[in-house]
Amino acid sequence: MNTSSYPMMPFTRLGQFAIARLRRMGRYALFFLQSFVRIFSWPLPVARILQQTYFIGMKSVSIICLTAVFTGMVLGLQGYYTLVKFGSEGVLGAAVALSLIREMGPVLTAIMLIGRAGSAMAAELGIMRISEQIDALETMDIDPLRFLVSPKLGAALISMPLLTAIFDVVGIIGGYLTGVLLLGINSGIYFARIQSSVEMADVTGGFVKSLVFAVVIVTVCCFKGFNTHEGSEYGAKGVSVSTTSAVVIASVLVLVTDYILTSLLL
Amino acid sequence: MKKASIETAVGIFVFIGILCVGYLTVKLGKMELLGKNYYSVQAQFESVAGLKVGASVEMAGVPIGKVEAISLDIERQIARVRMKIQSDVAITDDSIASVKTAGLIGDKYIKLSPGGSDLILKAGDTIIETESALDLEDLISKYVFGGV
Amino acid sequence: MKTPFIQFAGVTKAFNGHTVLQGIDLEIYQGEITTIIGKSGGGKSVLLKHIMGLLRPDAGRIVIDGQPLGQLKGRARRRLRRRFSYMFQDSALFDSMTVFENIALPIQERGRMKADEIEARVHARMRELDLGPIDNEYPSQLSGGMKKRVALARALVTDPEVVLFDEPTTGLDPVRKNSVHAMIAEYQQKLGFTAVLISHEIPDVFYFSQRIAMLHEGRIIFTGTPNDLQCLSDPVVHEFIQGFENPNGDSPEPVRQGSWESTFNAEMARMQHHKVSFALVVLTIENLAEILGQEDADAPGVAQRFADRIRAQLRVTDTCSLAGPNMVLLLLPFTNLSQAKMVCAKLGRTLNGQEIAGIQSCQEACMAISAGVAEVQGNGHPERTLAQALERKEIFYQFSVC
């Protein structure tokens, strides 16, 4: 770089930074699109999607239920003490159900899934990368994206809405535990308020979120693991770095997209 | 893990998940799965301030349908409301449709008061007699400034 | 002039500014075993990965079967790739899949083969490679040698035209090493595939490779037959090969004594396994008693020095061992009778001056050394060959060291 451009340096830096970011985002997008398209390539990878659904979905049910019941209970407790000041504790059901279905359900399910399945995906792919298993797939003319990433993406797209639905329902039961059993709200009113307040748009909005989160989680975690060799560290250290950054980036990205989606859906 | 047991486990998971989805959508989201039959009728109001799509249509306090669409009649500059009514409920052509409020500050809904005619409305027909939304502010100002 | 199947022209590759390959020119011919030798970390694996298309060259081009690799797209590229198999240095088995699933994967994913057909083929390969009933075991439960063989089975299950081996024998014990080499050579002959091999196993690779390429500091400094390589007088190459034989010291290890029979039998068995014709030379110091009678010289010391001197003159693949107080055995692969005679003649010329310095205590004595030579082609019984050589003693060459 010649000296005459020196005053422009900050802008050059900014430009370089922006281009690098944009390029990276483009790679993420391509990674997702290619994996998504390959879900439907013939022959359909049904067996592997099934296996991944077992791992991502079935094995997460217990942790999701546990999280959901306590989330619901806390919402019931907090909601009650806030609402009772206005003498409107009767709408507790509505408060719990709406916050679960619109926000807490999709977001917390996504966060739990990152911790349980996302980290595993990043680590698995990272190890496969450093032990040359991904290269081996390529030499066998097996598309690594189709073989490794697409089933995870497909399974996550199936599992996330279902897990979110389970989270919502269990959370509502959790709210029932505190609101009705502990604090003595009429159980009929609790459910009637839920029914009258929840609209179809809330439910579909929640599912749209959960689908988008599924995409975010799988794309980020698999991308990080898949490209472990491009990181600054090598070997086992490289896997740990890519797993950590996958979890962090995915979590942050889930919250950011949640805000964007909420503002679009409302 | 054997293949068959994985399949069973996934099956259970999907089943539970779909049950929950079903509860949320059908029960809470009020989605009509086994589609009760409905027919649409229209009504024109001078004002439907506060009325929203999806608001219920009631007769004698019993919900019998929903507001399907609200639009503006551009020529006459009045509101046009399309409602869907359960097909087992017959509405006579002299019924009165009025926009009401549940409680003092509750949601707006449409109340149908039956008439005495023998002519039953068919799908797509229009209810002629309507009452617009009651404007609370309007009323209060009338009372205060002695308009009543 | 044969046309090369794979051709590298000026291929250059750098990682993070560190140049690994700088202008590689290499030709690989169909139906041959080409072995790439070179120092560890010298870019041999990188070279191999370029053939597979796992890496792209920064400059230069690679032509495979008349098709420039860089320009191939989509379907043509896949079609070409399907003709190749790659065996990774660390096996690269899928550790979440069983042995059977690992081997079956390449043919399973290509589709258009029924389940029982796949099973039959996988089991056939497993049988051929001496893999027992380990279908349902996971790679982590296997020993290193087993893993290598599973990886080999996986590489061969698709009946590839070209197989690339990245150090197939690293980390194996000598017996397994030999069996893997034998397996590669045998399959190569049976199936007629083209093999490209990276190996540190010198001299083993000389026995079954048709072509050797030496990679040194990012360049190919030699290509040719194993014989060409051994006849080459280039000191770099020689030092290099010697370095492989004993990586810890700079002088050759002393000629072994004592267990000569087992060493010899093993070497002979190995050469016969590779179907290499070789010559056996028995050198005898005929007047050892005479020399010893002079002064206080000790018999093994004389013979040991004698053997060491000879050894310094030999090619790397030749074996030289002490077979008695006055007897030295030489095993010369790729050598027939007349060539063996020439070797003896050369020994007679070169040893002349040196021996005196070696045996200082008997300066006036003349050493009479006789040579017996026998040639073995294909299968020969070790003991019978030895007897044959002893019988022909003194017939071919006799020289004196004064």
CA A220 to chain centre: 10
Same domain assignment for residues B6 and B30: yes
Residue A150 identity: S
Q: Above 80 in pLDDT, residue B68?
A: yes
Q: Above 80 in pLDDT, residue A38?
A: yes
Determine the Cα–Cα distance for residues A30 and C156; give it in Å rounded to an integer. 34
Determine the Cα–Cα distance for residues C113 and C124; give it in Å rounded to an integer. 15
User: What's the pLDDT score for residue C256?
Assistant: 47
User: What's the pLDDT score for residue C30?
Assistant: 86
Residue A76 phi/psi, 5-degree rounding, is -60, -45
Q: Using pLDDT thresholds of 50, 70 and 90, give the confidence band for residue C252.
A: very low
Which stretch of A179-193, A205-219, B40-54, C250-264 has the lowest confidence by average pLDDT? Answer: C250-264
Residue C108 phi/psi, 5-degree rounding, is -65, -45
Q: Average pLDDT, stretch A186-197?
A: 86
Determine the Cα–Cα distance for residues C289 and C381; give it in Å rounded to an integer. 32
Same domain assignment for residues B60 and B85: yes
Q: Which one, of B68, B146, B84, lies nearest residue B121 by Cα? A: B84
In a domain, residue B148? The reply is no
Q: Which one, of A157, A170, A49, A53, lies nearest residue A108 by Cα? A: A170
Q: Are C307 and C255 in contact (CB under 8 A)?
A: yes
Determine the Cα–Cα distance for residues C191 and C200; give it in Å rounded to an integer. 24
Determine the Cα–Cα distance for residues C131 and C126; give it in Å rounded to an integer. 5
Polymer length in residues for chain B: 148
User: What's the pLDDT score for residue A163?
Assistant: 95
Same domain assignment for residues B9 and B76: no
Q: How far is B64 from chain A (nearest CA, A)?
A: 15
C63 forms beta bridges with: C7, C68
Q: Which one, of C201, C155, C154, C211, lies nearest residue C179 by Cα? A: C201
User: What's the pLDDT score for residue C241?
Assistant: 67
How many CB atoms neighbour CB B93 within 10 A? 17
- Residue of C172 and A27 predicted with greater confidence: A27
Q: Average pLDDT, stretch B105-120?
A: 81
Q: How far is CA C229 from CA C2, C27, C35, in A?
A: 20, 16, 12
Q: Using pLDDT thresholds of 50, 70 and 90, give the confidence band for residue B147.
A: low
Contact A139 C85 (CB under 8 A): yes
In a domain, residue A23? The reply is no
Determine the Cα–Cα distance for residues C43 and C21; give it in Å rounded to an integer. 7
Contact C105 A142 (CB under 8 A): yes
Q: Above 80 in pLDDT, residue C243?
A: no
Q: How many domains does chain B have?
A: 2
Q: How far is A114 from chain C (nearest CA, A)?
A: 21
Q: Using pLDDT thresholds of 50, 70 and 90, give the confidence band for residue A43.
A: confident
| First CA to last CA distance, chain B | 81
Contact A50 B28 (CB under 8 A): no
Confirm or reject contact between A264 and chain C (CB < 8 A).
Answer: no
User: What's the pLDDT score for residue C26?
Assistant: 86
Determine the Cα–Cα distance for residues C153 and C104; give it in Å rounded to an integer. 9
Mean pLDDT of chain C: 75
In a domain, residue B146? The reply is no
In a domain, residue B59? The reply is yes
Q: Using pLDDT thresholds of 50, 70 and 90, give the confidence band for residue A178.
A: very high
User: What's the pLDDT score for residue C262?
Assistant: 65
E strand or H helix at A175: helix A150-176
Same domain assignment for residues B24 and B79: no
Q: How many domains does chain A have?
A: 1
Q: Are C57 and C19 in contact (CB under 8 A)?
A: no
Which stretch of A17-31, C176-190, C317-331 has the lowest confidence by average pLDDT? Answer: C317-331
Query: Encoding tokens for residue A162?
Result: 């279902």
Q: How far is C13 from chain A (nearest CA, A)?
A: 17
CA A82 to chain centre: 30
Where in chain C do CATH 3.40.50.300 domains reside? 6-245
**Chains touching A, CB cut-off 8 Å, 3+ pairs:** B, C
What digits encode the pLDDT tens for the residues A119-137? 999 999 999 999 889 988 8
- Residue of C165 and C208 predicted with greater confidence: C165
- Residue of C226 and C98 predicted with greater confidence: C98
Q: Above 60 in pLDDT, residue C245?
A: no
3-state secondary structure C56-124: CCCEEEEEECCEEHHHCCHHHHHHHHCCEEEECCCCCCCCCCCHHHHHHHHHHHCCCCCHHHHHHHHHH
E strand or H helix at C281: strand C278-285
Q: Are C218 and C58 in contact (CB under 8 A)?
A: no
Q: Using pLDDT thresholds of 50, 70 and 90, give the confidence band for residue A115.
A: very high
Which stretch of B78-92, C45-59, C370-384 has the lowest confidence by average pLDDT? Answer: C370-384
Q: Above 80 in pLDDT, residue A118?
A: yes
Q: Above 50 in pLDDT, residue C356?
A: no
Burial C204-228 (b: 16+ CB within 10 A, else e): bbbbbbebbbbbbebbbebbeebee
Determine the Cα–Cα distance for residues C107 and C114; give it in Å rounded to an integer. 10
Domain that holds residue A260: 47-265
Q: Using pLDDT thresholds of 50, 70 and 90, give the confidence band for residue C394.
A: low
In a domain, residue A55? The reply is yes
In a domain, residue A204? The reply is yes
Query: Encoding tokens for residue A188?
Result: 């009929």
Q: Give the residue from chain C lying closest to A128, CA to CA.
A: C94
Which stretch of A236-240, B24-28, C393-397 has the lowest confidence by average pLDDT? Answer: C393-397
Which stretch of A239-248, B67-76, C196-205, C349-358 has the lowest confidence by average pLDDT? Answer: C349-358
Share of chain B above pLDDT 90, in %: 5
In a domain, residue B64? The reply is yes
Same domain assignment for residues B101 and B60: yes
Contact C109 A43 (CB under 8 A): no
Share of chain C above pLDDT 90, in %: 0
- Predicted ipTM of the assembly: 0.79
- Residue of A265 and A179 predicted with greater confidence: A179
Determine the Cα–Cα distance for residues C213 and C225; give it in Å rounded to an integer. 9
Omega before A7 within 30 of 0, i.e. cis: no
Q: Are A203 and B25 in contact (CB under 8 A)?
A: yes
Same domain assignment for residues B28 and B48: no
E strand or H helix at C175: helix C174-191
In a domain, residue A5? The reply is no
Same domain assignment for residues B53 and B19: no
CA A33 to chain centre: 17
Q: Above 60 in pLDDT, residue A73?
A: yes
In a domain, residue B143? The reply is no
Determine the Cα–Cα distance for residues A239 and A217; give it in Å rounded to an integer. 17
In a domain, residue A10? The reply is no
Contacts of B68 in chain A (CB under 8 A): none
Contacts of A61 in chain B (CB under 8 A): 13, 16
Q: Are A248 and A230 in contact (CB under 8 A)?
A: no
What digits encode the pLDDT tens for the residues C22-66? 888 888 888 888 888 887 777 888 888 888 888 888 888 888 888
Determine the Cα–Cα distance for residues A123 and A219; give it in Å rounded to an integer. 14
Q: Which of A47, A50, A203 sits opposite B29 (nearest CB)?
A: A203
Q: Above 80 in pLDDT, residue B87?
A: yes
Q: Using pLDDT thresholds of 50, 70 and 90, give the confidence band for residue A34.
A: very high
User: What's the pLDDT score for residue A27?
Assistant: 93
**Which range scores top for mean pLDDT: A119-123, A193-197, C1-5, C351-355?**
A119-123
User: What's the pLDDT score for residue C293?
Assistant: 59
Where in chain C do CATH 3.30.70.270 domains reside? 260-401
Residue C71 identity: Q
Domain that holds residue B5: 1-35
SS3 C19: strand
Q: Which of C92, C110, C158 sits opposite A131 (nearest CB)?
A: C92
| 3+ Cβ–Cβ pairs closer than 8 Å linking A and B | yes
Contacts of C106 in chain A (CB under 8 A): 140-142
How many CB atoms neighbour CB A187 within 10 A? 13
Share of chain A above pLDDT 90, in %: 64
Q: Above 90 in pLDDT, residue C207?
A: no
Q: Above 80 in pLDDT, residue A50?
A: yes
User: What's the pLDDT score for residue C297?
Assistant: 52
What digits encode the pLDDT tens for the residues C284-318? 777 666 666 555 555 556 667 677 777 767 776 67
Q: How far is C230 from chain A (nearest CA, A)?
A: 34
Determine the Cα–Cα distance for residues A117 and A54; give it in Å rounded to an integer. 11
CATH 3.40.190.10 is the classification of domain C6-245: no
Determine the Cα–Cα distance for residues A183 and A181; give it in Å rounded to an integer. 6
Q: Above 90 in pLDDT, residue C148?
A: no
Same domain assignment for residues B43 and B110: yes
- Residue of C60 and C275 predicted with greater confidence: C60
Share of chain C above pLDDT 70, in %: 69
Q: Above 80 in pLDDT, residue C341?
A: no
In a domain, residue B96? The reply is yes
Mean pLDDT of chain A: 90
Same domain assignment for residues B47 and B116: yes
In a domain, residue A85? The reply is yes
Q: Average pLDDT, stretch C122-145?
A: 83
What digits encode the pLDDT tens for the residues C191-204? 788 888 888 777 77
Q: Average pLDDT, stretch B50-79?
A: 85
Determine the Cα–Cα distance for residues C332 and C315; give it in Å rounded to an integer. 8
In a domain, residue A190? The reply is yes
Q: Which CATH architecture has domain C260-401?
A: 2-Layer Sandwich (3.30)
